[in-house]
Amino acid sequence: MRNRFQTRGEQGIVHLDSGEEKPVRVMKTVVAAALGMGLIFGSTAGGQELPRVEMRDGRASLFVDGRPYWVLGAQVDNSSGWPERLEALWPATERMRLNTLEVPVYWEQMEPARGKFEFGVVDALMAQARAHHVRLVMLWFGTWKNGRSHYVPGWVKADTVAYPRMKTREGKAIDVLSPNAPANLAADQAAFTALMRHLKETDQQHTVVMMQVENESGSLGSVRDFGADGAREFAGAVPSELVRGLGKRPGTWAQVFGEDADETFAAWSVGRYIEQVAAAGKAELGLPMYVNNWLKSPRGYPVETVPGEDYPSGGPTVNMHGVWKIAAPSLALLAPDVYVPNSEQYRGVMEAFHTRGNALFIPESLGFEPFPGASGYGRYLYYALGEGAIGFANFGLERVRLEGMDAETSAQIEGFRLLGGFDRELAKLAFEGKVRTAVEENGIAQKEIVLGSGLSAVRVVVSFPPAYDPPASPVSVSSDTTQLHEGRVVVGELGGGEFLVAGIDCRVMFEAPVHSKTQVQMLTVEEGRYDGETWVPGRLWNGDETDYGLNFGGKGSLLKVKIGSY
């Protein structure tokens, strides 16, 4: 694909083979969009602090400009990382109040000839994001994209001698670069390093807050590389750092890992390859980096899966987390792409990836269109928030339309819109461990959130229709989306008896512990919004709007509630 951002007369070009760097020139319209944007994301002083992932007391958060930041995002389609394609997606981004987009950067576009790097597309993507006050997570489509090497440059694809492919057990070459070939690593490493150097020079305001290194890495078509490089390494001893880290006895791969030797070797090979790519990039610009994962088997479904056939062998699947953590210490986290058909399996995947040594981030989730056998998409964002994730992104922003959406997708959009209205405060409270969620599920009519402990605790009782009989009043949670059974609520503790409550299709009541002699009362209930980090009150709720609890309809509301007792 070629467009006006790729013509050499307007496109920035850097020649590394000559040792000379030429200034990158971007179209006047793009430059104009970027002018004056240095203060969009905070002061100059704040902008000097690199984004990071921080873990504290078992909780994690992405920090941007020195503050907790919760990624409320969407990922664009694989071929939408182009300025003209992205331009069409900003209305949907604004409607959903997203603060982040995940956008691919293509090795094949960025390095059309060896050592010749073109950054005009990257610059245009950043300029658009700045103009719309949105951050970016860049997805490096380099050696791997969904278990294959389809995004490597044509000059790499064409020279299979210099850049070897993996081979099957039978000696057949497949369309995946070998992770055991030094030339493949050197080429990817050079390109990714050039990208990070360019971001260091052109993105002082940190429009880009994280980097995904490759996409669903590993191989489809073979469990490991049986070519010359792979066979030689597989026949040798398991590296001592892996043996020590896993508490194994020394030996060859087959001796140490038995029937799991092929997949474990693949995981080590891919993990070490990506580690060297990521580490070289971080030496230029130390943004948080992560890898995403094509799931091996979400909670045993399907019952049996085969590496290299049912999922890419060597990727950061749950069974290979121990290997990956040792192989790739430069990565901030290992993230799951979650496309599973029900809530139980979804929660199971999150629990498996959310460990003491791994922060939870959902970079891809069921998108804005029907998925075979799945329902209840609107719940998943709130599951992730409640599980302590640092962010969440649905796949396929292109499916969001400004009108005419089905009820399921409309419910999803409303869930994003509600959280987007207070994402800064939400991020801060979440990192402090002061956020709880409750999500409606089939057959469960009521849930309870307990805040505090003992007799001083507060019970937040959340009911979902039709679990109760709404009083004859103008307040009813009946809506176009109640039949989806996707009621959701977020409760944030502000301190001093104050809470933020944001809900959709549910009723919320504050109550005292069961055996307490005191009663809880709502002193004030303000409906309002946040302007940055400042609460802007609107109307007060009282009377019919509070006598029977806080009733949230399909459009959702954000409330600040102050409680007392008597």
CATH code, domain with 540: 2.60.220.20
State the Cα–Cα distance between residues 38 and 33, nearest whole angstrom. 11
Last residue of a domain, one of 433, 452, 487: 433
Does the pLDDT value for residue 49 go beyond 70? yes
Mean residue pLDDT of the chain comes to: 89
Report the pLDDT averaged over residues 354-363.
Answer: 95
Residues 359 and 482 in one domain: no
Higher-pLDDT residue of 16 and 7 is 16
Domain count, the chain: 2
Q: Which residue range(s) make up the domain with 546?
A: 438-565
422 in any annotated domain: yes
The CATH number of residue 407's host domain is 3.20.20.80
285 in any annotated domain: yes
Residues 357 and 487 in one domain: no
pLDDT at 539: 96
Residues 493 and 551 in one domain: yes
442 in any annotated domain: yes
Exposure on the CB side of residue 280, measured as CA atoms within 13 A = 17
* Residue 301: pLDDT band with limits 50, 70, 90: low
* Least confident window among 299-308, 345-354, 494-503, 536-545: 299-308
144 in any annotated domain: yes
State the Cα–Cα distance between residues 358 and 51, nearest whole angstrom. 17
Residues 529 and 412 in one domain: no
Higher-pLDDT residue of 370 and 473 is 370
* Least confident window among 76-85, 164-173, 505-514: 505-514
Residues 401 and 505 in one domain: no
Report the pLDDT averaged over residues 276-301.
Answer: 92
Residues 411 and 454 in one domain: no
* Least confident window among 293-302, 304-313, 349-358: 293-302
State the Cα–Cα distance between residues 80 and 375, nearest whole angstrom. 26
Residue found under tokens 């000097």: 48
Q: Is the peptide bond before 302 cis (omega within 30 degrees of 0)?
A: yes
Does the pLDDT value for residue 39 go beyond 50? no
411-428 pLDDT, tens digit per residue, is: 899 999 999 999 999 999
Does the pLDDT value for residue 566 go beyond 60? yes
Helix (H, G, I), strand (E, B) or coil at 433: coil
Amino acid of residue 347: R
Residues 292 and 401 in one domain: yes
pLDDT at 156: 99
11 in any annotated domain: no
Last residue of a domain, one of 400, 433, 466: 433
Terminal Cα distance for the chain, rounded: 69
Pairing of strands 446-451, 116-118: unpaired
Does the pLDDT value for residue 469 go beyond 90? no
The number of angstroms, rounded, from the C-alpha of 411 to the middle of its chain's C-alpha atoms is 20
pLDDT at 17: 39
Report the pLDDT averaged over residues 452-477.
Answer: 67
Does the pLDDT value for residue 27 go beyond 70? no
* Residue 452: pLDDT band with limits 50, 70, 90: confident
Residues 323 and 427 in one domain: yes
179 in any annotated domain: yes
How many other C-beta atoms can be found within 10 angstroms of the C-beta atom of residue 373?
A: 8
Residues 470 and 325 in one domain: no
| pTM for this predicted structure | 0.89
Residues 75 and 96 in one domain: yes
- Percent of the chain at pLDDT exceeding 70: 87
* Residue 299: pLDDT band with limits 50, 70, 90: low
Residues 97 and 160 in one domain: yes
The number of angstroms, rounded, from the C-alpha of 490 to the middle of its chain's C-alpha atoms is 20
Does the pLDDT value for residue 471 go beyond 50? no
- Percent of the chain at pLDDT exceeding 90: 75
pLDDT at 514: 83
Residues 207 and 350 in one domain: yes
* Residue 401: pLDDT band with limits 50, 70, 90: confident
36: DSSP letter: T
Exposure on the CB side of residue 521, measured as CA atoms within 13 A = 7
Q: Where are the beta strands (DSSP E) in 11-114?
A: 13-15, 52-56, 59-64, 67-69, 71-75, 100-106
Report the pLDDT averaged over residues 278-292.
Answer: 99
2 in any annotated domain: no
130 backbone dihedrals φ, ψ, rounded to 5°: -65, -40
Last residue of a domain, one of 418, 433, 448: 433
Report the pLDDT averaged over residues 197-209.
Answer: 98
262 in any annotated domain: yes
